[in-house]
Amino acid sequence: TENGNRRYFEVKVSDSTKNRRLKQRIAIESWECFKNNQSQELLKKGTGLTFDQITPILECQFKRIVLIDNKAQQRVSIDLSPIFINSRTGVNIGVPELVIIETKRNTNNPDLFAELIDSESAQKSDISRYMTGMLATNPSTKRYTVNRNHSK
């Protein structure tokens, strides 16, 4: 890591049988050396592809705060001031007023953070960090609608 900043190479694959995404990631020292053997193995295992078959499009940088409640088995990640860098368009946009909050919890426990947000009447929406970055950096990106079934 440089100056305390962490960088990761991450592979996400949809698991249609469980209606969720599987994610694997490894720490990398810099973007220039992310094609190391460990990254290549992760990409091949997760997708069946090699680096010669893909093109990096979007880099997202942000400051992150993580809150953990071990008793409630809940984690809240707060991503602040994202910067989106599109390698195809060359557009680099910072959105200092954007805060992305994600909660992860044991589904048997109540979502305490969501209850707090609801009680404060804060604006909530389902967004994709990737699509937010693509829409901000490439005007020809097609919009899509998120369709999620939330069951309790």
Question: Rounded distance, CA 123 to CA 51, Å?
Answer: 39
Q: Are 24 and 10 in contact (CB under 8 A)?
A: yes
Spell out the residues 6+ positions from residue 54 whose beta carbon is closer than 8 angstroms to its own: 43
Q: How many CA atoms lie within 13 A of 111 on its CB side?
A: 14
**For each successive 10 residues of the chain (152 residues), what is the average pLDDT?**
61 70 74 70 82 83 89 87 93 93 80 78 76 90 58 36
pLDDT at 137: 95
pTM of the shown model: 0.69
pLDDT at 96: 94
Q: Are 72 and 124 in contact (CB under 8 A)?
A: no
